[in-house]
Amino acid sequence: MKFIAVLRQVPDNEAKLKIEGGQVSLGGVTLILDGMDEWAVEEVIRLKEAHGGEAVVMALGPERFEEALRTALAMGADRAVHLVAEGYVDPISQAQHLAETIREEAPTLVFTGGQQADWDSQALGPALAEALGWPVVTWTTQLELEGETQAKAKHDLDEGAELVRVPLPAVFTSQQGLNEPRYPTLPGIMKAKKKELRKVPLSVQSKVEVLEQTIQERQRLNQVIDGSKDPVAAANQLIRLLHEEAKVI
């Protein structure tokens, strides 16, 4: 069987973002494998360990994405395919291009993150499914293969959850609770350097143009009340401020 995870490289959660010329500038920012994609990578490695076959990682993005692919290889993926495209490419166009390569690979299933930590998009998984003509299960918290042609999965809804049976091949997107990703080990990192990482240059026309990015942080009042000595007085003051000053209660 063959299991594919599609991933992105995104700014580290703690990174301070800057805007330059109306666009987010990632210069000097630590970039990491997207946390939700990490669950997807872990899942395909586990599937391969349990059922045999191959765990392949794939990405569409700029040169720098290679680092995130190497991280996934160091975790235990067998090989990587990198569709190299610079600049912003919207998720629908990404799906159209990735689908061609995925179809050639003919995998058992594809896994990707539930929401991208840079573009806050949830579209890639379902758009891939559409491009491939497969069903999709989003926000997956549990997955169990039933042979090679179907799987049982649990996934989150807007409210509550659902147990579904899904014919394979299918696309799944990750949600917290799916697994606990492993850390790359030193031998894993050494081995990853020798694993196959195929690059395919791509030129893609994005369907969406990003005109301007801004960071509009609300000015916060940052008023601090010491509640360590007299918690009752602090609580009274807070309730008064919320009622009289902010007028929100």
Residues in binding contact with ligand AMP, number by CB under 6 A: 10
What single-letter amino acid sits at 143? L
Q: What is the DSSP letter of 242?
A: I
3-state secondary structure of 180: coil
Q: Which helix (H) or strand (E) holds 129?
A: helix 124-132
**Binder among 36, 83, 99, 124 for ligand FAD (CB under 6 A):** 36
40 binds ligand FAD (CB under 6 A): no
Helix (H, G, I), strand (E, B) or coil at 29: coil
Residue 61 vs 114, nearer CB to other proteins: 114
Q: Does residue 135 bind ligand FAD (CB under 6 A)?
A: no
Rounded CA gap, 42 and 13, in Å?
Answer: 19
The answer to whether 95 and 127 have CB atoms below 8 angstroms apart is yes
> In the complex, what is the shortest distance from the CB of residue 14 to ligand FAD, in angstroms, rounded to a whole number?
10
Interatomic CA distance for residues 13 and 148, integer angstroms:
37
Q: For other proteins, which is the closer residue by CB, 55 or 127?
A: 127
Handedness of CA 172, 173, 179, 184 (dihedral sign): positive
User: Which residue in 80, 119, 120, 125 sits closest to 99, CA to CA?
Assistant: 125
What is the pattern of x (binds ligand AMP, CB under 6 A) and - over residues 47-86? --------------xx------------------------
Residue 210 found at the interface with ligand AMP (CB under 6 A): yes
Site for ligand FAD in 149-188 (CB under 6 A): 176
Report in angstroms how near the CB of residue 26 gets to ligand AMP at its nearest: 5
Segment 91 to 130, residues that bind ligand AMP, using CB under 6 A: 118-119
> Which positions from 11 through 30 interact with ligand AMP, judged by CB under 6 A?
23-24, 26
Q: For binding to ligand FAD (CB under 6 A), which residues are involved? A: 35-36, 176
